[in-house]
Amino acid sequence: MRKSVRNLILVGVGLTLTGSVLAAMAAADQRSTRVTSKMATYTVRRAPLSITLTETGTIKSRDQFIVKNQVEGRTSIIYVIDEGTLVKKGDLLIELDASALEDRLVDQQIQVENSEADHVSAKENLEVVKLQSQSNVAKAELDNQFAIEDKDKYLQGEWPKQLMEAETDVTLKDEELKRTTDEFNWSKRLYEEKYLSETEYRADELAMKRAQLQLALSEENLKLLKNFTHKRQLAELDSNIQQMELNLERVRREASSDLVQAEARLRARVAELKRQQDRLTKIEDQIAKTKMYAPADGMVVYATSSEFSWRGDTEPLDEGQEVRERQELIHLPTAESMMVRMQIHESSLGKVKIGQPVQIRIDALTEMNFTGRVTKIAPLPDAQSVFMNPDLKVYDTDVMIDGVHPELRTGMSCQATILIEEHIDAISVPMQSVVGRGGDSIVYVVNGNEAEPRKVQTGLDNKAMIHIVDGLKAGEQVLLVPPLTDDMSMSGTPSRPDESASANSSPARNQGGPSRGRSGGGNRP
């Protein structure tokens, strides 16, 4: 119970204090600050104002040839040209160890020869199969034709002849029987009248019986020929025709199958030969790629010299070093056109546009000035910077340098100043004179012995001066440093000057606050 009462008392005291703070903040908006002799002021005036963004960068060749390792796997360097050497097109740059590839080349040549022999064998076998198939099909067709002709021969020749022979034999046997019967009848009469001996009589009787038997035999042969032999011969001939037709179909199918198999074997040997030849060509190509030549005139720059490694273990190219496939080895920049590669912090990204003019100062050529224009802004932040510091988002930006300058070299350091806006007659104040309060930008205008807070509309800044679009007039004085106590009473902590600079800006300008990353600055009017 006592704890609940204590909690209620604490809540009441907290609400009272909160109300007091809110009331004090509301009253502070209308409060002026007394100006003392220690307070620095700035007199507002109209003058030219340049809004610029300066970043450091590196000179790079706009057009450069990149020599990559195109040998598969990992290979050792046995020769590399010195960095900085001026080379002509066709000069040897790097030579890799090709001993293992040369051993593979010998083995592959043997494989190609074996495949060529198999290919020739398969090709000749196909021709043999074609001839053999044609021979087998022709023979089967001939056998089938002979079977059909045998039936025609039987029906139109042999059968009528056999039937005629059988019928003729029956007729002759019948006549022979009649003759022997007449002789037997005459012999019987003579035998009865005792004019013929019994032996002669029995001989004529035997001849008659023989004739009877021969006639019966001939009649049976004729019946057998008609009812059995002829039907069987027809069935055999029909069966033989059917068998020859089936044999012809089988031979044709076997020939087609053998031909398909031979053609498939030949195609397989052709494919295998091509595969082995492609391997041989690839190995020869890989051996040729172990020697890398200059694609154009230029100065040799090792790719490792321009690579960044967060581990710090990137070593320059040297003989004996192993390189991997597709690794960039050498850059050959051309001096025809150069560019600046710099990085823009995300807070300033909204200020930079394609086509904006740029003033460039080279650290090694301080007496010379160069000009250019923004030509490319990366759509994504630099991955290496994000990896090193996830809170740092910078975008690679390219500036093309106008003209041809042979004195420029890849890798030179420079400072590039981008001209974002240029005003011939503008009102501006130092950035520290402006403080942010909520969504407003506030300056303290000196009026007699008092400094009154006033809302102003701001534009962009150049990290030194901020453009005042509306709210101030030339001749007015503002506090160079706003009163800390008043600012604290209004917002609890002092506001940063760059927050006030973007308070009343357009959406595009709100993105372009001062850079928190690399060096920068501007031109004070």
For the whole model, what pTM was predicted?
0.54
Please give the structure tokens belonging to residue 316: 């320059």
- CATH class, 31-62+335-510 region: mainly beta
**pLDDT reported for residue 384:** 81
In this predicted structure, the answer to whether residue 187 has a pLDDT above a threshold of 60 is: yes
Compute the mean pLDDT over every residue in the chain, rounded to the nearest whole number: 81
- List the chain domain ranges: 31-62+335-510, 64-97+293-333, 102-283
Number of neighbours of residue 159 by Cβ within 10 angstroms = 16
CA angle 521, 524, 525 (to 5 degrees): 155
Q: What is the average pLDDT across 195-212? A: 86
In this predicted structure, the answer to whether residue 422 has a pLDDT above a threshold of 80 is: yes
Ramachandran angles phi, psi of 260, nearest 5°? -65, -45
Fold (CATH) for 64-97+293-333: OB fold (Dihydrolipoamide Acetyltransferase, E2P) (2.40.50)
Reduced to 3 states (helix: H, G, I; strand: E, B; else coil), residue 164 is helix
pLDDT category of residue 368 using cuts at 50, 70 and 90: confident
**pLDDT reported for residue 10:** 53
**pLDDT reported for residue 190:** 85
Fold (CATH) for 102-283: Helix Hairpins (1.10.287)
Q: What is the average pLDDT across 431-459? A: 86
**pLDDT reported for residue 492:** 36
Kindly report each contact of residues 259-262 with a partner whose C-beta sits within 8 Å and lies 24 or more positions away, as own/partner.
259/126, 259/129, 259/130, 259/133, 261/129, 262/122, 262/125, 262/126, 262/129, 262/130
In this predicted structure, the answer to whether residue 125 has a pLDDT above a threshold of 90 is: yes
CA angle 482, 485, 491 (to 5 degrees): 85
In this predicted structure, the answer to whether residue 108 has a pLDDT above a threshold of 90 is: yes
Helices (H) and strands (E) in the chain, counts: 10, 22
- Percentage of the chain with pLDDT > 70? 83
In this predicted structure, the answer to whether residue 238 has a pLDDT above a threshold of 50 is: yes
In this predicted structure, the answer to whether residue 33 has a pLDDT above a threshold of 70 is: no
**pLDDT reported for residue 523:** 37
Please give the structure tokens belonging to residue 419: 């001209």
Q: What is the average pLDDT across 409-426? A: 87
**pLDDT reported for residue 205:** 86
Give the closest residue to 163 by CA, choosing from 218, 212, 236.
218
Number of neighbours of residue 279 by Cβ within 10 angstroms = 17
**pLDDT reported for residue 307:** 58
